[in-house]
Structure 1
Amino acid sequence: MSSSRNHRVLVPVDVLEGESVPSTVVDAFASIPVVLLGYREIPDQTAPEQARDQYGDRVRAELEELRTVFEDANCDVATRLAFTHDRLKTFERVTVEESCDAILLLNPAPVLESVLVALRSDVTVAHMARLLRTVLDGTDLEVTLFHVAADEDGRNAGTELLETARTALVDEGVAANRIDSRVVVGGSPTDAILEAANDHDLLVVGESRPSVRRYVFRDRAERLAKRTVDPVLVIRGEYLESATEAAENGKTADENPGEVPVTDVVETVERGDESGGDEGS
């Protein structure tokens, strides 16, 4: 069984837009170390350094308050600040730099009682189960494992996938009576997941294609994150690596087609910090 301290979750918060972390989310994730990323997505014509000089102190003050909320819940918390032209790419960058296992995208969560876990055929089940067990530990959250099969021929494979995931969760210490499973056939997987998510309070998705490597928000995960009204936990695949690791392993930019350069400024914020740290472009 994995320890909660072996995991880490990135929680991006657009504090200048008044975004906050629901108390239900704080309670559910209190046992897991988190990295709070106070960020602001800025227009292309605005330099990140300029935005930091203008708004940095406000963001740091808001981050300080959020840090206190998590610390009051006995959560191990670190804070970073970012001004960026592409928030999702910056989230990915910080996820790799901070060795986070997942990114929690916030939405209102007045209650947090049930979790929908959308599994695809190529998912790394054991990796997801370890982190899910950590999230579920100390809560009464119920779990529905969900898979969308392309056709009737894929129903049995989907059922087997969910049974494998169920077994992995039970092996991690999750009570079997807290886990339900559901396979649906046909239609748009994204639409099916969004419809099912309407009956749950937290959506969990994962990316697992080795060819993607450095990316978290590719294909379905990005669309789900943008369209659902639930908080979304995007679990990072074990295969993700940093740009340095990719270079060491002989990967080139050509092997990551469609890569978008990120212009941002990111800094680590210590308690009481009033000045910047790292910059990236």
Structure 2
Amino acid sequence: MTDRPCILVPIRVLDGESIPDGVPELLANAYVVLLGYHVVPDQTATGQAKMQFEERANARLDKYESILRDAGATVERRLVFTHDGQKTLDRISDEHDCLAVLVPNGTRPPEEVLVAVRGTAGVSRIAEAVAGLFSSTDVAVTLYHVTETNETDDDIETFLNGVRDRMTELGMDASAVDTRTDTEQKRLGAIATAAEEYDALVMGESDPSLTTFVFGMPAEQIADRFHGPVFVVQREASESS
């Protein structure tokens, strides 16, 4: 059994966002950093907004924290009033050394999760996140790889078997991990299409960036095409530099 993976769950707490159905079950084995944040106009002081809205924001966070704890998660919460949501999210993630951020879209209680993998960078952290979240559950995991023109069948098999072996070392049952490949060259579109058959998606930060998912840019990418929850596993600092 792995240690609980640290997952950042950002909620625009005063803008109608909440914890959707299915998300508490996804996070039952996680250490959740529940970030309630509100982006304040540049002309408004963050301290002023805090005095005006803190009580209402905390009341909502109380409810969301209770929902996550009741599902089994360990929860630490933060409330931030900020002029820059992107910088706040990155800062909180760094401060807590979060393994992944969750875009908390709704889903049914999870049964099948798609895990998009490529190359070797970040794969160990993806395996750590998946095993930590799902090794003690009945969730079935599918490793999904969009092949590149210079890859042979042996290369692909070796790569996917290596990822599966790493997950089993971390506690996953090998029988719960399947593999799937696609030759579609438009990789992000292929992932978005494949993800529609699953309850949640796990992928690396570079596919595209964490902030692309959270803030909805660009519009044609996965965050807009797949409306289920997305775990974006962050790269280590050495990989990001």
| Residue number in structure 2 paired with 1:64 | 62
Q: Which deviates more, 66-75 or 165-174?
A: 66-75
- Relative to structure 1, the CA distance from residue 240 to residue 143 in structure 2 (aligned partners, 3 Å threshold; closer, same or farther) is same
| Aligned partners of 1:35 and 1:79 also within 8 Å | yes
**Match of 1:203?**
201
5+ long unaligned stretches in structure 2: none
Using a 3 Å threshold, how does the CA distance of structure 1 residues 228 and 208 change in structure 2: closer, same or farther? closer
TM-score (norm 2): 0.85
Q: CA–CA distance in 1 between the matches of 2:156 and 2:50?
A: 47
SS in 2 for 1:72: helix
> Cα deviations across residues 60-112 of structure 1 (Å, max 9, x unaligned)?
11011112222223432111112334433321110001121111111111332
Match of residue 32 from structure 1: 30
Identity %: 36
Corresponding residue of 1:117: 115
Check if 1:99 corresponds to 2:86.
no
Q: CA RMSD in A?
A: 2.7
Rg (Cα) greater in structure: 1
**How many residues matched?**
234
Q: Which amino acid aligns with 1:162?
A: L
Contact 2:29 2:134 in 1 (8 A): no
- Gap regions ≥5 residues in structure 1: 210-214, 242-254, 257-281
1:129 to 102, 105, 127: 127
* CA gap 1:134/1:202 in 2 versus in 1, 3 angstroms: same
Residue aligning to 1:235: 233
| Correspondences of 1:14-25 after superposition (within 5 Å) | 14-25=12-23
In 2, are the aligned partners of 1:38 and 1:80 still within 8 Å (CA)?
Answer: yes
- How far the C-alpha of 1:24 sits from its partner, in A, is 2.5
Change (3 A) 1:123 1:158: farther
1:139 counterpart = 2:137: yes
What residue in structure 1 maps to residue 174 of structure 2?
A: 176
SS at match of 2:137: coil
